[in-house]
Amino acid sequence: MPYIANICGWVLTEMGRQPWLVQGLLKVEDGVSPHLTAGQVLISLISYSLVYGALVGVMFYLMRKYAMAGPDAALHESVDVAPGYGSLQDE
């Protein structure tokens, strides 16, 4: 899975660089969205920033919460297996 994620990230990064523009297959002026305004770009940038900022805030809140609770709190959330389940004695 990490290998696939690495390849997908590389492909996404390279596609964002518009290699067809570099190779001369498409002119820059032909690759521009004609109906996109600066206000729409600004709204999109602000929206993404707010969403990612909220996710960062939630991540730090949860990390602090679980770090303060300590490792003993995680034991209460784990699923206990019935004694003897899956042991060699059952066979």
Summarised one tens digit per residue, pLDDT across range 18-43 is: 766 766 777 777 777 888 899 999 99
pTM, to two decimals:
0.52
Is the residue at 87 inside a domain?
A: no
Is the residue at 51 inside a domain?
A: yes
Residue 82: predicted pLDDT? 58
Summarised one tens digit per residue, pLDDT across range 61-85 is: 999 998 998 877 767 665 555 555 5
**Is the C-alpha dihedral spanning 67, 71, 73, 77 positive or negative?**
positive
Range of weakest confidence among 2-6, 55-59, 62-66, 71-75: 71-75
Instruction: State the residue range of the domain holding 42.
Output: 2-25+34-73
Residues sharing a CB contact under 8 Å with residue 42, sequence separation 6 or more, in sequence order: none
The alpha helices in 1-91, defined as continuous H runs, are 2-16, 19-22, 38-69, 71-77
Is the residue at 40 inside a domain?
A: yes
Domains identified in the chain, total number: 1
Is the residue at 89 inside a domain?
A: no
Residue 51: predicted pLDDT? 96
